[in-house]
Structure 1
């Protein structure tokens, strides 16, 4: 049986964004409360009964979260423009080494209704059905 195990976390950050719609406000430094969620998929270990210990997952998340929380995202190395898409990719890249069963990362801004999901379908880390 395959299980999906998720963990949510929140971070606050500021950024600018060069775009053509809402350009004036986007180019000014502004901030958001971001809600992120990662999802692991696989089979629990027979010894522990867990896909991955959530305490361990939280520690790995905290490392990546600390790179983003209360930071100016324009200055975060390897992030690129602070889009929801790039935030999903950044979180995925920072966690997949420690969480090889990682299959999805979502980042949303509930106050504006925006959400992005990066889903890894049938790649090496999803252990094909």
Structure 2
């Protein structure tokens, strides 16, 4: 049997963006509350009954949140252009050593209804 375990976190961050539409507002520094969710899929371990220890996962996500929360995303090393797609990829790369590995990363902004999912 395969189970999927999910854990969410949020962060507040600012960024700028070069775009062809909504040019002026995107180029100015502005911020959002971002929500992120990671999923890990696999069988449950016969001894623990867990796919992954959620306490361990929460610690990893707290460390990742520290790298993003209340930062200017344009300046976060390894992120690149601060798009939803690049945030998904950044989170996936930051957690690439998890066992079992990630099966999905989602990032969204409730305030404007935007979201992105990276299926791994």
* TM-score using structure 1 length: 0.91
Q: Distance in 2 between matches of 1:72 and 1:38?
A: 22
2:22 is the alignment partner of 1:35: no
Task: Return the alpha-carbon distance in structure 2 between the equivalents of residues 70 and 90 of structure 1.
Answer: 16
Aligned residues: 120
- Tell me the CA shift for residue 97 of structure 1: 1.0
Output the CA distance in 2 between the equivalents of 1:90 and 1:99.
18
Instruction: String of CA shifts for 1:55-97, please: whole Å, max 9, x gaps.
Output: 0000011111110000000000010010000000000100121
- Inter-partner Cα distance in structure 2 for 1:73 and 1:97: 23
For 1:95 and 1:63, how far apart are their aligned partners in 2?
A: 11
Is 2:41–2:100's contact at 8 Å kept on the other side of the alignment?
no
Equivalence for 1:7: 7
Deviates most, 50-59 or 98-107: 98-107
What is the aligned partner in structure 2 of residue 112 from structure 1?
112
Q: How do 1:1-129 and structure 2 match up within 5 A?
A: 1-120=1-120
Contact 2:17 2:27 in 1 (8 A): yes
Contact 1:60 1:98 in 2 (8 A): no
What's the C-alpha RMSD, in Å, of the aligned pairs? 0.8
Deviation at 1:99, TM superposition (A): 4.2
